Amino acid sequence: MVALKKKKIIRRVGAKKVDSLSGSIRLRGRKIIKKTKKKTKVFDLKKPAKKPARKIIHFDLKRSKQNPIIEPTLHSYWESKATFNPTALYHDGKVHIIYRAIGDSDISVLGYAKSDDGYSIDKDSKDIAYYSKQRPLVRRKKLSRLSYISGGGWGGGCEDPRLTLLDDQVYLIYTAFDGWGSVRMAMTSISLEDFISRNWNWKEPVLISPPGQIHKNWVLFPERIKGKYAILHAISPTIMIDYFDSLDELDGENFIHSIHQGSVLWGSRDKLVRGVGPAPIKTKYGWLVLYHKMESHDSHRYKLWAMILDAKDPTKILYNSQHPILEPDLWYENEGYKGGVVYSCGAVVKDGELFVYYGGADKVSCVATANLDAFLEELKHSKVSILKSTKIKA
């Protein structure tokens, strides 16, 4: 047996050199130089060791090349001017879309369209799904002073719908605008069977917000939380949810009392929260909520952001995106009645993909997608912003 011959350990004060079996190590100034037969490594004593960089998954939404997927139809009296701010419901392999439409009368109604793949619209499926019986489809002589505050519904009507499927019942919450001075939240429902069959037997709508207040952007959770129906009606300066044993409690005389004056700044002083987008989506990390914010340096543009709320207590924010997931950059998000706007009212999960349906420039309907798991993983690494509030003009 042959014994290994070890190298001598040499210590020199001037050169600061140490020889060993593995090679040599030298100290030069603040740097340690380690040499072996195969490679040389340099370590800087004044710099902390670098941790392996986390792989960044870019979770911005990818727009469909087919955008806009729903556009105004020139010779259609009910959707000749605008078809925007869509909501959506996924059932039995198909995406059912309800969108806001404005036609010759300047009154907002809700149209219906269907898609097999989430992108392509079956044009034969388009139909008027819902309209206000109090707003006849005739042209108004006098336009509203609140038309742009309301969101472009020049003659009033049903605006910015949100769909929720719960217990084989399809619930619809929307903004009810009387065309002049009242912007309130309303709710109705229809059986899933009638909805899929396009038998528009909606229940009589009820107003669920108080009179004399302007409200928008309310959504119903698609599951009961602690055995109760839950309506999310504010996300700033805090998450506000009202719970009900039965939605019949909202009978047109009892209302949800929410924040209705001013707005808030969220996280930093350059981000303006505008409101929630689609109904929350249940995920493995909690409730995924998309919402709209503007930034003071870019205050004319609506952008889409994301956060995750605690599954058991959705008043708690677990994760919050630190940059927009969708910005109004393309032509169909800028060439319309209100340029610089992406406004989402609907999102579904289909075959592991998140489909986000949104309005572009208050004129057309579009869709953007992301792999849901990758999207959630990236969002999970976002820090929660601290809420700070301040009043601005409504």
The pLDDT, as a whole number, for residue 110 is: 98
The helices-and-strands tally (H runs, E runs) of the chain is 3, 26
- Strands 229-234 and 240-244 come out as antiparallel
Can you tell me the distance from the alpha carbon of 110 to that of 152, in angstroms, rounded to the nearest whole number? Answer: 14
Cβ 147 vs Cβ 263: under 8 Å: no
Query: Can you tell me whether residue 384 is helix, strand or coil?
Result: coil
The answer, yes or no, to whether residue 366 has pLDDT greater than 50, is yes
The pair of structure tokens assigned to 13 is: 């004060």
pLDDT band at 394 (very low <50, low <70, confident <90, very high): very low
pLDDT for position 391? 34
pLDDT value, residue 154:
64
Determine the Cα–Cα distance for residues 355 and 348; give it in Å rounded to an integer.
Answer: 5
Round to the nearest angstrom and report the end-to-end CA distance of the chain.
Answer: 90
Give the pLDDT of residue 60: 74
CB 369 within 8 A of CB 354: yes
Entry pTM: 0.81
With 0-12 / 13-18 / 19 or more C-beta atoms within 10 angstroms meaning exposed / middle / buried, residue 168 is exposed
CA 18 to CA 11: how far, in whole Å?
6
Closest CA to 112 of 200, 34, 19, 12: 200
Q: What is the pLDDT of residues 37-82, one digit of tens each?
A: 666 665 555 555 554 444 444 557 999 999 999 999 999 999 999 9
φ, ψ (nearest 5 deg) of residue 171: -100, 140
User: What's 45's DSSP letter?
Assistant: T
What is the average pLDDT across 246-250?
Answer: 98
| pLDDT for 261 | 45
Is residue 363 within 8 A of residue 337, CB to CB? The reply is: yes
7 or 215, higher pLDDT: 215
Reported confidence tier of residue 30, pLDDT bands at 50, 70, 90: low
CA angle 151, 153, 158 (to 5 degrees): 100
Q: Kind and range of the H or E element at 358?
A: strand 353-360
Residue whose pair of structure tokens reads 């490679």 in the numeric block: 39
Domains and CATH numbers, the chain: 1-47 (no CATH), 62-388 (2.115.10.20)
Cβ distance 308 to 288 under 8 Å? yes
CA–CA gap between residue 110 and residue 99 (Å, rounded): 5
Query: Regarding predicted confidence, which is higher, 264 or 199?
Result: 199
Cis? peptide before 324, omega within 30° of 0: no
Please calculate the CA angle 78-112-110 and round it to the nearest 5 degrees.
50
Q: Provide the pLDDT for residue 32.
A: 63
- Eight-state DSSP code of residue 231: E
Query: What pLDDT is attached to residue 265?
Result: 39
Three-state DSSP at 201 gives: coil
> Contact, 98 vs 83, CB < 8 A?
no
User: Does the bond joining 136 to the residue before it have cis omega, within 30 degrees of 0?
Assistant: no
The confidence score (pLDDT) of residue 388 equals 37
pLDDT of residue 5: 45
